[in-house]
Each structure stands twice: as C-alpha cells, then as structure tokens.
C-alpha cells in the first residue's frame, strides 16, 4: 500500500507543472465570491436595514393613546413617552415602564 503514495504525489506534481503556466485572470477567480456577496447583500442585509429604519421611525412616532404590543407579547396603551422609555397601561390603574426598543408593533394609533 505504501508504494501508491509516491506515484500519486508524482502524478499530482506533473499536473501542477503543466497547469502552472496557464494562470487565469484574478478577477474571474474572484467572481463567485463577489457574486455570493451581492446575493447575500440583496437577500439579507438590505431588508434587515429597511426593517430597522421602519422600526426606528415607528418608535419616534409613538404618542400617547397608541395601542402597542411589546416584544414580550404585552398588549397595552401608551400613557407617556420619554426619550428612552414608554409608560404603558396594561390594565386600569396598572402602569409599567419599558424601554422604547421593547415595543414591537403599534396596533392602533390613538388620538
């Protein structure tokens, strides 16, 4: 079995020597990598950035009376908004404070 390894190494060396003179364009060899990055950007990165921008705009537009759902699934009405927190009423006379990013969606705009 040991006699096969030198023959394999010799055969591989012969192929490498014959093919080494015919180097291709480096851009052609990078093309699959570039194409993969473009597909990754279009399918994953761009939609995520769009969602983050929409969520940020939604949080900036929060106002008193809006009905919201938190990321924890709590349905509540907004009773106060500051720069970093939102006060929510989850039941009559039961209020909690949550961070603004914890608001997942706005169900209904209040007046």
> Quick one: pLDDT at residue 86?
96
Count the alpha carbons within 13 Å of 105 in the hemisphere toward its beta carbon: 5
pLDDT tens profile 16-75: 544 455 577 888 889 999 999 999 999 999 999 999 999 999 999 999 999 999 999 999
Specify the pTM.
0.66
Beta-carbon contacts of residue 66 (< 8 Å; ≥ 6 apart): 77, 78, 106, 108, 109, 110
> Tokens 């900036």 correspond to what residue?
60
* pLDDT level of residue 10 (50, 70, 90 thresholds): low
Distance from C-alpha of 64 to C-alpha of 78, rounded to nearest angstrom = 5
Given a contact cutoff of 8 angstroms between Cβ atoms, the answer to whether 100 and 71 are in contact is no
> Quick one: pLDDT at residue 12?
56
């Amino acid at each position: 079995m040991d006699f096969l390894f030198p023959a394999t190494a010799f055969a591989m060396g012969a192929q490498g020597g014959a093919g080494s003179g015919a180097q291709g364009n480096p851009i052609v060899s990078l093309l699959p990598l570039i194409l993969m990055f473009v597909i990754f950007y279009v399918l994953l990165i761009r939609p995520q950035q769009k969602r983050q921008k929409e969520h940020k705009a939604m949080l900036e537009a929060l106002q008193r009376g809006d009905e919201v759902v938190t990321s924890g699934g709590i349905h509540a009405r907004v009773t106060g908004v500051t720069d970093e927190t939102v006060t929510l009423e989850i039941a009559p006379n039961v209020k909690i404070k949550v961070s603004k990013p914890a608001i997942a969606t706005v169900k209904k705009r209040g007046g």
